[in-house]
């Protein structure tokens, strides 16, 4: 066995470890590429034999994260089966499948001990994700197997907390390489904020990946819409249903995507049954319903001084796809309407300083309207919007969410599906600058879905290219960018000196506003496509998160920086 391990080490050194590699941003000049040998039977058999020899169970389950783990899972399962052991194999998807059975775990789980396997363990984040997904299925992990371990066992503090055994064949020292940087072995930031409660809606539309109905909070309740056709009010401290109301029938799995707004004890939202609702927040009693549209995916904005609600509407008429309307807060009657070319998925922004409404459309245009009359002040057309033709309802420059406004610079920032985040002057829509995402292999900028935010110094946005970008809002200079492991539909949220943003990889990232450095990382079992909601109370700070599967989590937010200093 020892001789076989020496042979395997030599194979990895010669076939897997690429030295003098210049493609990494973290300062390392080497990389392990196990895909060079994982699908070659003579090498795979040696890897599987060495890993299998370290499994102490007669009956077990072997699993891992797609895709590198899959050949290892298969080879180990076959060896165990040949040895007469009871073995069960499975693998975990990086993101839930959007078609078919919508599974995140492929394979059937049982009650035997679970062993996770992979070629590498570096930060441990991929294993942490798997632990969280399995916990959602009421399964615990007993052991982790890896071929190469990058850091000391003490680094992976989640192992001790979960009582998981880590066993690796090799360390970096065995190959004469080390991680770059003085903090290479700093304690992991994958801190798990404590889950106070979670709520799962009865039905979820996993096929649709885009922002869900972001919750709004009262003193006692959490209010949000769901894919299952209900609008919910949950008790904030327990997650127990206080009331729920059903909306009308809708198609394509879209029911309530509109994020509610609360004003004077009434919650307002739209639904894909084509209606806008006003409901008493405490009781769920309907105040009024406006039935003017065919679909409503937009989120409302309330202008209290005008007793007015503004929202985007969508229509099935070829000549009349979208509109922005103002409704009377008391009655729901239409006060004014501004017709738009394509579907109006985006949400309006009210700018008090100019008494104007700013909203984007799927035709790739941003409109500035007089808040009192709906009269057009100006419009700005994106690069993608210039390609819009006919009455399709969509364009290459779709503007999906609300713009952001910065009073210091009198600037509006908004994102587009054409891969740019634009900045224009609020007074006249004049172009200031635009920022472009990383380009795809086809040289096409990758789309932006989420809403940008302004901080005191920066403008920050995230994109489907997995990156969070930060630029100086005065000069346009690049300040930092941060890469997650999944596409980002969510919008960033600032709390103190931290930015929080969710990703399709199921993680909530806490980033330092000034530097973009990772402060903490918390995994949930599904894509996080909506902005988090953070609330500070005398009892502490809580974070409310809704996932793509319309699961709501209430987390006790931990100051990760202080936590790690104390550990």
Could you write out the three-class secondary structure of 201-223?
Answer: CCCCCCCCCCCCCCCEECCCEEE
Q: Which residue has the higher pLDDT, 176 or 157?
A: 176
Looking at residue 110, which CATH number applies to its domain?
A: 3.40.50.2020
Q: Which residues, 6 or more positions from 408, have their beta carbon under 8 angstroms from its beta carbon?
A: none
Mean pLDDT for 68-87 is 96
- 91 and 7 within one domain: yes
Model confidence at 560: pLDDT above 60: no
Q: Report the C-alpha gap between 149 and 159 in whole angstroms.
A: 14
In a domain, 271, yes or no: no
What's the pLDDT score for residue 561? 44
- 148 and 71 within one domain: yes
Q: Supply the DSSP symbol for 533.
A: E
| Mean pLDDT (the chain, rounded) | 91
Take residue 273 and report the two structure tokens written for it. 């049954």
Place of tokens 């006790």: 556
Pairing relation of β-strands 540-546 and 86-89? unpaired
Take residue 283 and report the two structure tokens written for it. 């009781």
Helix (H), strand (E) at residue 63:
strand 59-63
Q: Is 22 exposed, middle or buried (0-12, 13-18, 19+ CB in 10 A)?
A: exposed
What is the per-residue pLDDT across 222-264, written as a single tens digit (0 to 9) for each?
A: 999 998 999 999 999 999 999 999 999 887 778 999 999 999 9
- 201 and 67 within one domain: no
- 195 and 170 within one domain: no
| 521 to 69, 85, 191, 507, 565: CA distances (angstroms) | 23, 37, 6, 6, 16
Pairing relation of β-strands 518-523 and 114-121? unpaired
Q: Which residues, 6 or more positions from 102, have their beta carbon under 8 angstroms from its beta carbon?
A: 96, 204, 206, 207
Q: Is 14 helix (H, G, I), strand (E, B) or coil?
A: helix
- 144 and 196 within one domain: no
- Confirm if 335 and 326 have CB atoms less than 8 A apart: yes
- 152 and 60 within one domain: yes
Between helix 2-11 and helix 41-52 the angle, nearest 10°, is 130
Domain count, the chain: 2
Pairing relation of β-strands 261-263 and 266-270? antiparallel
Pairing relation of β-strands 420-425 and 261-263? unpaired
For the chain, state the CA radius of gyration.
26
- pTM of the entire predicted model: 0.89
Q: Which of 4-8, 42-46, 87-91 has the lowest mean pLDDT?
A: 4-8
Cβ neighbour number for residue 328 with a 10 Å cutoff: 16
What's the pLDDT score for residue 98? 78
- 68 and 199 within one domain: no
Q: Is 41 exposed, middle or buried (0-12, 13-18, 19+ CB in 10 A)?
A: exposed
What is the per-residue pLDDT across 181-210, written as a single tens digit (0 to 9) for each?
A: 644 444 445 455 889 999 998 777 777 888
What's the pLDDT score for residue 562? 47
- 518 and 540 within one domain: yes
Domain assignment of residue 545, given as a range? 189-211+488-567
Q: Supply the DSSP symbol for 238.
A: T
Take residue 208 and report the two structure tokens written for it. 């649709």
What's the pLDDT score for residue 212? 92
In a domain, 229, yes or no: no
Mean pLDDT for 52-72 is 96
Q: Report the C-alpha gap between 78 and 305 in whole angstroms.
A: 70
Q: Is 402 exposed, middle or buried (0-12, 13-18, 19+ CB in 10 A)?
A: buried
In a domain, 219, yes or no: no
* Tally of residues, the chain: 567
- Confirm if 466 and 447 have CB atoms less than 8 A apart: no
What's the pLDDT score for residue 1? 64
Q: Please tell me whether the peptide bond between 67 and the residue prior to it is cis, using omega within 30 degrees of 0.
A: yes
- 195 and 71 within one domain: no
- 46 and 17 within one domain: yes
In a domain, 137, yes or no: yes
Q: Report the C-alpha gap between 194 and 140 in whole angstroms.
A: 17
Q: Report the C-alpha gap between 146 and 133 in whole angstroms.
A: 19
In a domain, 334, yes or no: no
Q: What is the band of 101 on the pLDDT scale with cuts at 50, 70, 90?
A: confident
What is the per-residue pLDDT across 102-145, written as a single tens digit (0 to 9) for each?
A: 889 999 999 999 999 999 999 899 999 999 999 999 999 999 99
What's the pLDDT score for residue 537? 86
Take residue 380 and report the two structure tokens written for it. 């700005």
What's the pLDDT score for residue 95? 85
What is the per-residue pLDDT across 367-390, written as a single tens digit (0 to 9) for each?
A: 999 999 999 999 999 999 988 877
In a domain, 144, yes or no: yes
Looking at residue 513, which CATH number applies to its domain?
A: 2.40.10.480
In a domain, 261, yes or no: no
Take residue 184 and report the two structure tokens written for it. 């290479």
- 202 and 70 within one domain: no
What's the pLDDT score for residue 23? 62
- 204 and 158 within one domain: no
Cβ neighbour number for residue 23 with a 10 Å cutoff: 8
């Amino acid at each position: 066995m020892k001789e076989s391990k020496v042979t395997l080490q030599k194979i990895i050194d010669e076939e897997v470890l690429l030295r003098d590699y210049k493609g990494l941003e973290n300062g390392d000049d080497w990389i392990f590429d196990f895909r060079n040998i994982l699908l070659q039977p003579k090498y795979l058999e040696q890897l599987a034999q060495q890993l299998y020899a370290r499994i102490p169970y007669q009956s077990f389950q072997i699993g891992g994260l797609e895709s590198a783990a899959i050949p290892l899972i298969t080879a180990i399962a076959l060896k165990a089966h040949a040895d007469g052991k009871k073995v069960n194999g499975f693998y975990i998807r990086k993101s839930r499948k959007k078609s078919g059975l919508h599974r995140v775990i492929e394979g059937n789980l049982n009650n035997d001990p679970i062993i996770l396997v992979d070629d590498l363990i570096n930060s441990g984040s991929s294993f942490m994700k798997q632990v969280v997904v399995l916990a959602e299925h009421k399964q615990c992990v007993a052991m982790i197997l890896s071929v190469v371990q990058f850091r000391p066992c003490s680094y992976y503090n989640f192992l001790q907390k979960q009582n998981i055994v880590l066993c690796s064949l090799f360390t970096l020292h065995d190959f004469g390489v080390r991680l770059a940087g003085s903090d290479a072995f700093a304690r992991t930031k994958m801190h798990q904020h404590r889950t106070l409660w979670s709520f799962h809606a009865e039905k979820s539309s996993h096929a649709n990946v885009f922002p869900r109905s972001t919750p709004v909070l009262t003193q006692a309740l959490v209010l949000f819409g769901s894919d299952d056709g209900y609008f919910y009010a949950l008790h904030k401290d327990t997650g127990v249903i206080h009331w729920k109301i059903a909306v009308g029938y809708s198609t394509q799995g879209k029911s309530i995507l509109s994020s509610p707004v609360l004003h004077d004890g009434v919650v307002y939202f739209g639904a894909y049954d084509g209606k806008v609702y006003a409901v008493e927040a405490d009781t769920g009693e309907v105040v009024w319903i406006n039935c003017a549209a065919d679909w409503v995916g937009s989120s409302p904005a309330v202008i209290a001084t005008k007793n007015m609600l503004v929202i985007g509407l969508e229509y099935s008429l070829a000549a009349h796809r979208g509109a922005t309307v103002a409704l009377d807060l008391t009655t729901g009657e239409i006060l004014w309407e501004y017709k738009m070319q394509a579907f109006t998925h985006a949400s309006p922004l009210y700018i008090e300083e100019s008494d104007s409404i700013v909203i984007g459309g799927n035709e790739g245009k941003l409109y500035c309207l007089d808040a009192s009359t709906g009269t057009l002040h100006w419009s700005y057309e994106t690069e993608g919007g210039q390609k819009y033709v006919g009455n399709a309802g969509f364009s290459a420059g779709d503007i999906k969410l609300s713009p952001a406004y910065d009073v210091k610079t009198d600037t509006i920032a908004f994102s587009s599906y054409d891969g740019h985040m634009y900045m224009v002057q609020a007074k006249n829509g004049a172009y200031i600058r635009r920022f472009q995402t990383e380009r795809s292999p086809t040289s096409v900028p990758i789309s932006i879905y989420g809403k940008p935010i302004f901080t005191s110094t920066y403008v920050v946005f995230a994109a489907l290219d997995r990156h969070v970008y930060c630029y100086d809002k005065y000069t346009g200079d690049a300040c930092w960018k941060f890469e997650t492991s999944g596409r980002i539909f969510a919008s960033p949220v600032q709390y103190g000196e931290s930015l929080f943003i969710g990703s399709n990889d199921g993680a909530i990232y806490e980033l330092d506003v000034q530097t973009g450095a990772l402060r903490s990382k918390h995994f949930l079992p599904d894509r996080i496509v909506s902005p988090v909601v953070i609330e500070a109370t005398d009892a502490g700070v809580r974070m409310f998160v809704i996932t793509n599967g319309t699961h709501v989590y209430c987390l006790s937010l931990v100051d990760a920086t202080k936590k790690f200093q104390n550990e």
